[in-house]
Amino acid sequence: MLINRRRKPAPLKPWKGAKPKLPMGITYLCRVHYLDLQAYLAKVYRMRDYNVLKAVGVSHGECPEYLVTGQMPMASNVTQQIDNIQQGRRTRNLNLILNLLCRDGFIIAGKYVIDTTEPRSPTVEYTSLLHRHQDPDHPACVSFRKKHRDQTFRRHASVLDRLTREFKEKETK
C-alpha cells in the first residue's frame, strides 16, 4: 500500500459549543533588583549590611530564581532560623527569607527573579540623557541633576553641560 505524504491535512473546523477549560494555576513572576531587596530587608527585618550576592553565592549578571509560596520547610532547625531572621540576624538561606516575607504578608507568592546586574553610575545615565535631549536645560536633565547630589557626579555633569553647550554653539555657527 502506498502512502501519499504530500497530501495536505484537512483544515480544522471551527469549534462548536463550549470550549474546554485547561486546568492551570496562575503564578506571578516578580523581578527585583538585589539592591532594592537588601534595602527592603534592612527595613523589614533590620538586616543591616546584608549582601544578597554573598548570601546566594552569585556574581553580577547571574539571576537566581526562587519559587515563593509562604510555606515553611519541615526541617528541625527552621523555627530557630526564623527566629534569627526576625531578630535581624543574617542567614545565607534567601529562599527561607523570601518565604517568611510571604508568610508574614510583606510580599506576594510567586516566582522571584533576583536581578544582580550592576547599577549604572549616575554619570553614565546622565550622559545618555544628554545624548537623547541634546540640551542641558531640558526638564528631564534638570530634574536628574537635582535628584543626584553626589559631588563627583556634580563635577562630571557640569563638564558635560559645558561641552554640550559648546557643541551646540559650534553647530549653530
CB 161 within 8 A of CB 136: yes
Q: Give the pLDDT band of residue 1 (cuts 50, 70, 90).
A: low
Kindly indicate the confidence band of residue 121, based on its pLDDT and cuts at 50, 70 and 90. confident
Query: Does residue 5 register a pLDDT over 80?
Result: no
For the segment 88-104, the average pLDDT, to the nearest whole number, is 90
Q: Which of 116, 7, 117 is nearest to 56 (CA)?
A: 116
Is residue 160 within 8 Å of residue 127, measured between CB atoms?
A: yes
Instruction: Provide DSSP, 36-63.
Output: HHHHHHHHHS--TT--HHHHHT--TT--
What pLDDT shows up at residue 57? 92
Grid coordinates in use for 141? 536633565
pLDDT at residue 12 tops 70: yes
Are residues 119 and 150 in contact, defined by beta-carbon separation less than 8 angstroms?
Answer: no
Is the pLDDT reported for residue 4 higher than 90? no
Band the pLDDT of 2: cuts 50, 70, 90: low
Backbone angles phi, psi at 121, to 5 degrees: -70, 155
User: pTM to 2 decimals?
Assistant: 0.63
Q: Are 49 and 81 in contact (CB under 8 A)?
A: no
End-to-end CA distance of the chain: 85
What confidence tier does 67 reach under pLDDT thresholds 50, 70, 90? very high
Instruction: Quote the mean pLDDT of the chain.
Output: 88
Residue 140 has pLDDT above 70, yes or no: yes
